[in-house]
């Protein structure tokens, strides 16, 4: 795969807002916000379609319940706020008002993970992937850049039922070229092929995985396959299975707890289909902490999520491969 120029900066939230505007010619599309319409860029949709943007204020349970009501009325609803508050403050409503009746509500959140930085542990949502993927009928997507967001939003719109999409707050370098469009629900993309070990990442950690793979090849002669697992549920069972067979070991990376997230999902696939060593990299059952925006890389490093830590993990995991 031809990767994007590293100088092309990705803003996932802006890509979300623009994707909503593109869908807005369909009068069935509505958007609901919780006093975060500027931050989530859903105001772009509201500026063009003011009668179809509903700002319910800081009331996340109401956000979900109103979204459910609109869906019952035949609308396709995009409901958005920060990950700390959705699912954090409205799990009951998500489970019983959206997922149980299988309503067409798409939950899109931002400010997930450690990279919220200055907002600290209370706002660094590191349990949302785990929480959302255990609820029946919910699909979970974690795009790595704005190109993935641009492609996945229309797929969500045209796929009936509930979705949860997790966006990052910081801008980052694009992974994909602007015209790349190979995305589908339940699939993933091989960003870099390799034969010695596989790195499976999601969200902002895909870029870290690519950097680590390049270092491993250049300095250690290790050929790493890198997979962008943007669909956590349903997960790409076939590609995980193939990676286990072809490379014999897997390292997973996520800006999330290692309990119940991407790493757990990958372990479930390998355990049932082709057991191999899997090292889960993420937040290890602890809370995050505050850091200035200029110190985000240092914060990720403190929690073992730097490219150097990935290199170390890959080298350690390779030693476990059965010859």
Q: From CA 139, how far away is CA 162, in angstroms rounded? A: 6
pLDDT of residue 10: 76
Q: Is 226 helix (H, G, I), strand (E, B) or coil?
A: strand
Counted residue by residue, the chain has a size of: 323
* 276-302: pLDDT as tens digits: 999 999 999 999 888 887 788 888 999
pLDDT of residue 260: 97
CB-based contacts of 239, cutoff 8 Å, min separation 6: 187, 188, 190, 227
Which residues, given as ranges, of the chain have pLDDT below 70?
Answer: 1-7, 323
pLDDT of residue 288: 87
pLDDT of residue 7: 64
Q: Strand pairing partners for 112?
A: 125
Q: From CA 211, how far away is CA 26, in angstroms rounded? A: 40
Long-range contacts of 303-306 (CB under 8 A, 24+ apart): 303/114, 305/114, 305/205, 305/208, 305/253, 305/255, 305/281, 306/208
Q: pTM for this structure?
A: 0.95
Of the candidate CATH numbers 3.50.50.60, 3.10.450.50, 3.40.50.970, 3.40.50.300, the domain formed by 11-173 belongs to 3.40.50.970
Q: From CA 167, how far away is CA 16, in angstroms rounded? A: 9
Q: Is 202 helix (H, G, I), strand (E, B) or coil?
A: coil
Residues of the chain with CATH 3.40.50.920: 189-318
Q: Which fold has domain 189-318?
A: Rossmann fold (3.40.50)
CB-based contacts of 154, cutoff 8 Å, min separation 6: 19, 22, 23
pLDDT of residue 73: 97
84-94 core/surface letters (b: 16 or more CB in 10 A; e: else) = bbbbbbbeebb
20-48 core/surface letters (b: 16 or more CB in 10 A; e: else) = bbebbeeeebbbbbbebbebbbbbbbbee
pLDDT of residue 1: 66
CB-based contacts of 319, cutoff 8 Å, min separation 6: none
Other Cβ atoms within 10 Å of 120 Cβ, number: 13
CB-based contacts of 60, cutoff 8 Å, min separation 6: 34, 81, 85, 86, 88, 89, 90
Radius of gyration of the CA atoms of the chain, in A: 19
pLDDT of residue 323: 65
Residues of the chain with CATH 3.40.50.970: 11-173
* 21-31: pLDDT as tens digits: 999 999 999 99
pLDDT of residue 242: 97
Q: Strand pairing partners for 110?
A: 82
Residue numbers annotated as active site: 60
């Amino acid at each position: 795969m031809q990767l994007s120029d590293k100088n092309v900066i990705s803003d996932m939230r802006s890509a979300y807002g623009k994707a909503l505007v593109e869908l807005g010619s369909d009068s069935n599309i509505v958007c609901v916000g919780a006093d975060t319409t500027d931050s989530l860029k859903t105001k772009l949709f509201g500026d063009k379609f003011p009668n179809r943007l509903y700002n319910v204020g800081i009331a996340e349970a109401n956000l979900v319940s109103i979204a459910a009501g609109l869906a019952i009325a035949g609308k396709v609803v995009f409901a958005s706020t920060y990950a700390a508050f959705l699912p954090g403050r409205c799990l009951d409503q998500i489970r019983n008002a959206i997922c149980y009746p299988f309503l067409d509500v798409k939950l899109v959140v931002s400010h997930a993970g450690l990279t919220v930085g200055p907002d600290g542990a209370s706002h660094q949502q590191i349990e949302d992937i785990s929480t959302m993927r255990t609820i029946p009928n919910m699909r979970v997507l974690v795009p790595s850049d704005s190109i993935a967001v641009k492609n996945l939003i229309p797929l969500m719109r045209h796929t009936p039922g509930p979705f949860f999409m997790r966006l990052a707050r910081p801008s980052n370098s694009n992974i994909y070229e602007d015209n790349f469009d190979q995305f589908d629900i339940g699939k993933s993309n091989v960003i870099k092929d390799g034969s010695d070990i596989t790195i499976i990442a999601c969200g902002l950690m895909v870029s870290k995985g690519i950097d680590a793979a390049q270092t491993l090849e250049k300095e250690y002669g290790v050929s790493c396959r890198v997979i962008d697992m943007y669909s956590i549920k349903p997960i790409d069972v076939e590609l995980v299975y193939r990676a286990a067979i072809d490379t014999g070991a897997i390292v997973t990376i996520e800006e999330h707890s290692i309990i119940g997230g991407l790493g757990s999902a990958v372990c479930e696939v390998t355990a049932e289909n082709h057991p191999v060593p899997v090292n889960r990299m993420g937040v290890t059952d602890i809370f995050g902490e505050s850091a200035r925006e200029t110190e985000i890389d240092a914060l990720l490093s403190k929690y073992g999520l730097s490219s150097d830590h990935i290199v170390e993990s890959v080298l350690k995991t390779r030693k476990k491969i059965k010859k």
